[in-house]
Amino acid sequence: MPQSYQRELEKIKEVLRENPRGMTILDVANSIGMNRNTVARYLDVLRISGQIEMRAFGSAKVFFLSHRVPVSALIDFSSDALVVVDEHLKIIQVNENFLNMIQMKRKDVEGLYLTDLKSSLFRKSSIVTKIKEAFDEKTNQDIPFEASSGSQYFLVRTIPTSFDTGSPGVTTIFEDITEHKRAEEELRRSEEKYRTLADESPVGIVIFIGNDIKYINTAFSKMVGRNREEILTFQINDTLQYVDERDRERIIKRIEKSDISFKEMELIRIIRPTGETRWIEARSNTIIYEGQQAIQVLLIDATDRKLAQEALEESEKKHRTLVESMSDMVFVFDKDDRYVEYYSSKDAELYAEPDEFLGTHISKTLPPNVYKPYIEYAKVVRDTGQKAQYDYELKINGKNQWFACVLTRSEEQGNIIASVRNITQRKEIEQELKQVLERTQKLESIVNRGPVIVISLLIDKKLTVKFVSENISRLGYSAVDFIKEDRNWIDIIHPEDIGMVREQLNQLEYSNQESNQIYRIITNEGDIRWVSVAIRVLSNRDEKPVHIQGIIHDITEQKEVLQALEDSEQKYRSLVEESLQGIVVLQNGKVVFANDAYCKITGMHREKLYAMEPEETWKVIHPEDVAKLKKRNKTRAQGGYVNPYFAFRYIISDGSIRYVESYSSIINYGGKEALQVLVIDVTSQTEAEVALEESEIRYRSLVETSLHGIIIMQGDRSIYVNNAFCQIIGLAREELLDMKFDEIKRYIHPDDREERVLRFRKWIDGIATENKSEFRLIRPSGEIRYVKAYLSSMEVREDRMMQVQIIDITERRLAEKKLDMAQESKQCLLNTIQDFLFVLDVDGKIIEINPTVTKHLGYSSGDLINTDFSKLFSKEEQIKTVLEIVLHKGSAKRKQIIRSKYGKDIPIETNFSIGPWLGKDAILVLAQDITEQVETDKLMSLQRELGFKLSFMSDLTEALSYILEVILKEGGLDAGGIYLTNFEERKLELFVSRGLSAKFTSNIISVDFDNDLAQPVLTGQKSSYVFAEDDLPYEIQKEGIKSAVSIPIILVGKIVAIINLASRKEVALAENTLRIIEAISNLAGETILRMQNKGISLDI
């Protein structure tokens, strides 16, 4: 039966061969005399096996012999690996490429099943499963898939196949895509490298094309206070709503004029979602991004610097206000040391009245301890013109006062100006000033530290070196070579680079801008190093450029690494260009065969290729390549030599272009001469190369235009520095490249160098270290620059590298230092004011206090700032009224009672005045504690009143009783007595008493000096003495006495009585209260004396 089956098939094929125009099923049945239905089944078998073809003309089906080349004839022409298996996965046919792929010989493969192969490609991957699925018409979708053997990658495609017997099979094609995968991985690594630089940069970066935002980094997201995903949904116009309206119109005008690029730094305010305003410095430039022209904007958060500047200005205004509110006394002396003029806002501190001393010699007015030092110093000042200062002590209004006198020579011949300041309180604050000085010295010590070479050059023909940092030794030189031996910078620049360096410097000399130079340096040993030099031209006060400062980075190693990368890329490109994929055979210009890979490359179905006329085949080739290919064909037809290798382009039906490389040769095909062309699709490699170049351009642009200095170290050498790093350190790129760390560290400030070296050694040893720090660099010019550094590690081609980004924070640190000095100066001034100082806003709220308020009233700044000043007084309305008067008239003077934090009332005399404070009008309140004055007045009043009443009393008992009652009241005590003394009999007699029990009184009415009860009284013989409870005898403690005080009454140098006071509760007598009691005790002595003079004696 099988042989009959084959004979019938051959008959049908023979009939179709004789009728090349085609036959219907009925035609074939009539020609061979066979049943129509049987013929139809045979025709299906032949068509399925690929031996015939069928075309439909309307409802009629016409059959032809197939013109396709059998797979078996072409399988070895494919550059891919092919294997054909039957439905049992038995291997039917393989090509040489497949045998090479599995590393087996043909004799060992034939007859095996696919699952018997030992190749890891078939044991680990899902290829066998995919091949099995190819037999299932429902699941087979003819979709290529990738597979890997570990070191190689393949694009696998399964094609259902029918054998001549009609049985099913599957042809599996393995396309080697290893090089394509490696190119993709190399591109991915390159993009990751440069994107890491951009994403980790502290400078905000945003890139937009037209109105669309294409890229932002993390720093930009943090700067504007919004997440990256949200910002990327915006168009550039949408972001204007977050620009402060004061800057918005200016930006809108730029956009309307298409002038969004600005190379100079521009200051813009943005509003964060929290409502916070941030100052941003922005600079933009045009770059190429993803193949298109784009705008790149670089942003730096300048808020801290702006606030520091504003704080400094406000502090200076504050300082000025304080100075203007505290005028010194000024005296002018003529050449004979006579007073000629004076100025004083505090006449109360004058030693004499102006009309008494003006026109007189200083010795006629002041005591020797003042005028003698003056005469000595005045002579020195007149002779040398230098200031002189001395301190002196003077008694004014009964009080000793200390003054500081500064002598200055006047413009008038021989005149001396003496500025005199009351420094009585200075002694108390000297210790505080000493601490301030120590803090200042510590700050200066901390501020001195830096990793690169710093230079300062004169702008002349020789580039004379004014300063170079010690780590110039990295280039084999010492600083002494340049400073003392007259070596010039131009001497060590490579001769071929001198012209370029001069030209760039001439441009900067007039533009006064910062720039970066890259050139070669010849070391002292004769080696050539590439350096990147960040330079800045500095001008004098006349705006004339005088010298340049430079930061030098050795970038030699980076140059070598970049060259190695380019060589590696060329190597892989060559490997890709040698890989073949598609096969096409042409006869007389007509396509007679094309494999699947060729169809995939051209984007056309095989049937359409076969149906194309010779002239139509040129339409799929790029017009620019057609003439070249036709010329090659003509040369070949004339017997000339044509290079078999040729690259050209296909145009796909969707308009895209495919780049191919071809290898052409003449073969015998179907008994006729034909042109066979093997083509390789190199589109992916070409596009990858273009993308790689664009990516490198794009990310290199981000790095090179970054405002942060960047240096990359491989091992202990620098391999890359950007312009900003060169500018910060003051060295050329050629100087920095390939510079060793031991050379770079010379540009680090000596005080900071040890810590930087320790961190670098830790990094070399793979030990984790802090990635952020601040230190100082020393430029070659000697200028110190403060920088903030960010350290990170990265790996490039398995090489571990260190990337350091630095930000120049010099201006900020200097502003902070100046602000700190101003703050310290202000604080010192505040500390010198011993009176209470309050600064109020116009609404009467406290905005500043001095330390005296805290020390004597107990309030901290947190207690008082932003509170109403009137809350410190019991009579709030009176204070509010005074403040209204001050706002209306400008000043006022009052006496009030202020309450301390602990409830103590303190009498003060206040001076109110209006003055500027922090740019606004404020009320300055200077309040003097007049407690001592009030108490003195009170004591004098009490003495007058008590003396007046006692003068009318003639009974001693009545008088002493009245005195005792007054004392107990003033002292806040509840018991006491006045004891008369008799030293001859050594007896103590209680004369009058209050608050003591009858029993106790009877026990002490008259006792010997040796009696225990007499001891607390007698202790007050010499002076006042205060007892605590534990010091008192038991009998007195039984009386409930907790504390006691004894005060002597002295008459004509003799103690005639002792006042003993007591309390049944703990009483701490204030010093002023004790003084009042002692003053009243003196009145008791005067009363006793007066009584004796009248003939009334003490009966003891």
Asked if pLDDT for residue 352 goes beyond 60, the answer is: yes
Quick one: the chain helix, strand, coil %, rounded to 5? Answer: 45, 30, 25
Q: What is the mean pLDDT of residues 580-584?
A: 76
Sort 325 into a burial class: Cβ within 10 Å, 0-12 / 13-18 / 19+. Answer: middle
| 398/652: higher pLDDT | 652
Query: Looking at this protein, which amino acid is placed at residue 12?
Result: I
Residue 981: which of 1041, 1033, 1022 has the closest Cα? 1022
What is the predicted pLDDT for the residue at 575? 40
Residue 995: pLDDT band (50, 70, 90) is: confident
Residue 879: which of 848, 851, 840 has the closest Cα? 840
| 1029/607: higher pLDDT | 607
385: left (phi over 0), alpha (psi -120 to 50) or beta: left
What is the predicted pLDDT for the residue at 262? 54
**Which string of DSSP letters, residue by residue, matches 681-734?**
E-HHHHHHHHHHHHHHHHHHHHHHT-SSEEEEEETTEEEEE-HHHHHHHB-EHH
What is the predicted pLDDT for the residue at 68? 60
pLDDT tens per residue across span 188-234: 777 677 677 777 778 888 888 878 888 888 888 888 888 888 888 88
What is the predicted pLDDT for the residue at 451? 60
Ranked by mean pLDDT, the top range of 110-119, 199-208, 693-702, 863-872 is 863-872
pLDDT tens per residue across span 37-96: 788 878 877 876 677 888 888 778 888 887 665 555 556 666 788 888 888 888 888 888
- Decide: 520 and 494 in contact? Cβ < 8 Å: yes
Query: Looking at this protein, which amino acid is placed at residue 461?
Result: K
CA 918/CA 311 separation, integer angstroms: 9
Residue 726: pLDDT band (50, 70, 90) is: very high
Q: What is the mean pLDDT of residues 256-268?
A: 64
pLDDT tens per residue across span 1051-1075: 767 788 888 888 877 666 667 677 7
pLDDT tens per residue across span 238-261: 777 788 888 888 777 776 665 555
Q: What is the mean pLDDT of residues 1019-1041?
A: 67
Least confident of 118-122, 138-142, 181-185, 716-720: 138-142
Least confident of 187-201, 539-553, 584-598: 187-201
Q: Which domains does the chain have, with CATH numbers?
A: 2-65 (1.10.10.10), 71-176 (3.30.450.20), 202-301 (3.30.450.20), 328-422 (3.30.450.20), 453-554+705-810 (3.30.450.20), 575-689 (3.30.450.20), 833-929 (3.30.450.20), 935-1093 (3.30.450.40)
pLDDT tens per residue across span 412-459: 778 889 988 888 777 666 666 666 556 645 533 433 344 678 888 888
Going from the C-alpha of 834 to that of each of 347, 349, 831, 847, 898, the distances in angstroms are 19, 16, 7, 19, 16
Asked if pLDDT for residue 1022 goes beyond 60, the answer is: no
What is the predicted pLDDT for the residue at 572? 41
3-state secondary structure of 862: helix
Helices vs strands, H then E, count in the chain: 39, 44
**Which string of DSSP letters, residue by residue, matches 37-94?**
HHHHHHHHHHHHTTSEEEEEETTEEEEEE--SPPHHHHGGG-SSEEEEEETT-BEEEE
Residue 580: pLDDT band (50, 70, 90) is: low
- Decide: 207 and 293 in contact? Cβ < 8 Å: no
Asked if pLDDT for residue 824 goes beyond 80, the answer is: no
Asked if pLDDT for residue 786 goes beyond 60, the answer is: yes
- pLDDT, averaged across the chain: 80
CA 362/CA 334 separation, integer angstroms: 11
CA 981/CA 979 separation, integer angstroms: 6
Q: What is the mean pLDDT of residues 665-676?
A: 86
CA 641/CA 918 separation, integer angstroms: 91
Q: What is the mean pLDDT of residues 303-308?
A: 81
Asked if pLDDT for residue 101 goes beyond 50, the answer is: yes
Q: What is the mean pLDDT of residues 286-307?
A: 82
Token readout for 636 is 């070949």
What CA dihedral angle connects 255, 257, 263 and 269, to 10 degrees?
-40
CA 146/CA 358 separation, integer angstroms: 109
pLDDT tens per residue across span 153-176: 888 888 887 776 667 888 888 888
What is the predicted pLDDT for the residue at 443? 39
Q: What is the mean pLDDT of residues 826-841?
A: 76
pLDDT tens per residue across span 119-148: 777 766 678 888 888 777 555 455 666 666
Asked if pLDDT for residue 324 goes beyond 50, the answer is: no
pLDDT tens per residue across span 889-946: 888 888 888 988 888 888 998 999 988 876 688 898 988 888 877 877 777 787 778 8
What is the predicted pLDDT for the residue at 360? 92
* Beta carbons within 10 angstroms of residue 420's beta carbon: 19
| 1035/643: higher pLDDT | 643
Asked if pLDDT for residue 642 goes beyond 60, the answer is: yes
Strand pairing of 645-651 and 657-669? antiparallel
